[in-house]
Amino acid sequence: MYGLDLMKLLFLLAIILILWFSFTLIIRRWLNVERPKWSSYNHVNGKHKRIDWIIRIAAIFMLIAGYIINMSRDPANWYWFLQPWFILIIFIFAIQIVRAVMEQKYAQNPNAYKVTIGEIIFIFLLFFTLFQTDFFGLV
């Protein structure tokens, strides 16, 4: 599997999750923002819910369109911006940005959007670091 055995992958995933949850816990306590429920995705209001679902449906269509377009081409000439990993990163980023905007405008706690923006930046920096260091030499 791309030169990465299962144990190394699980170890790396565990480290990423621990760092992410630790960062989120610290920033939520520091800014006095309640932790949302684990079992559901909390929308700020109905407008946020509609926009979120539009983004999710657009992501599904882009994944299907990217698959169809890239499968019609030679594998050596696939478009990188139609690869599933790229489409998912873009749409997850879009969903989080919309969430931060809606929290800034409509959330009861004025610091909620700061947590969301902090998480976006932290995850971006974490994954950038992982890719730049070849997953800390695990690949």
pLDDT tens digits along 1-33: 455 678 888 888 898 899 999 999 999 999 999
Amino acid (1-letter code) at residue 95: I
Measured CA to CA in angstroms, residue 126 lies from 3, 7, 110, 138 at distances of 21, 20, 26, 15
- Cα 96 → chain centroid: 7
pLDDT tens digits along 55-76: 999 999 999 999 999 999 998 8
Q: Which residues contact 112 (CB under 8 A, 6 or more apart)?
A: 33, 103
Question: How large is the angle between the packed helices 6-31 and 112-132, nearest 10 degrees?
Answer: 150
Radius of gyration, CA atoms only, the chain: 18
The mean pLDDT of 88-116, rounded to a whole number, is 93
Q: Which residues contact 121 (CB under 8 A, 6 or more apart)?
A: none
pLDDT tens digits along 100-109: 999 999 988 9
Alpha-carbon span 82 to 79, nearest angstrom:
5
